[in-house]
Amino acid sequence: MNDVARLFQAFVSPAIFFSATALLILSINVRLMGIVSRLRQYVHAKHDATKNARQSEADAYTTQIASIQHRAEMIRRAFLFALLALTGTLLACLLLGLGLYWKAAAVSAAIVFVLSMISLLVCAAFYIRELNVALSSVQDEAHDLNFMDVGRV
């Protein structure tokens, strides 16, 4: 019975990180959906501007599309590293349980868990970078007269 209690204890700490990482993945997914939606909107607007010979507006959309694609790539990387962290945390849980019966598995669990936390740190770095770029993109768009709807019918 003592082994069962130790097994349960071995699962608790990584499970907390697992839950937190899953919530971060949810947040990143929502952010990615917003970026993709905005990208589609800009691609359609660029097509409309090009079709109606509004070249300066089309050029402005081209710049914004490039910026959004750059942001989408950062979010994709954050998503990837968060998924790696989630997978590593789950693997660490399983290795910790196995470590009760095989000592090498416990050492492996510690290594996998540290690598998972490093992956989570890289994820956070990409997420922070994307947030900073997003804010600067919004400011650029707000000051670009080609996005103003002045006098357009």
Hey, where are the domains in the chain?
Answer: 2-145
Contact by Cβ (8 Å): 112, 92 = yes
- Each residue's pLDDT, cut to its tens digit, for the chain (153 residues) gives 566 776 666 667 777 888 888 999 999 999 999 999 989 999 999 999 899 888 888 888 888 888 899 999 999 999 999 999 999 988 988 888 888 888 899 899 889 989 999 999 999 999 999 988 887 766 666 666 555 554 444
In whole angstroms, what is the distance from residue 48 CA to residue 54 CA?
Answer: 9
CA neighbor of 152 nearest in space, from 57, 87, 78, 44:
57
pTM score, two decimals? 0.76
Q: Which two tokens stand for residue 132?
A: 């900073």
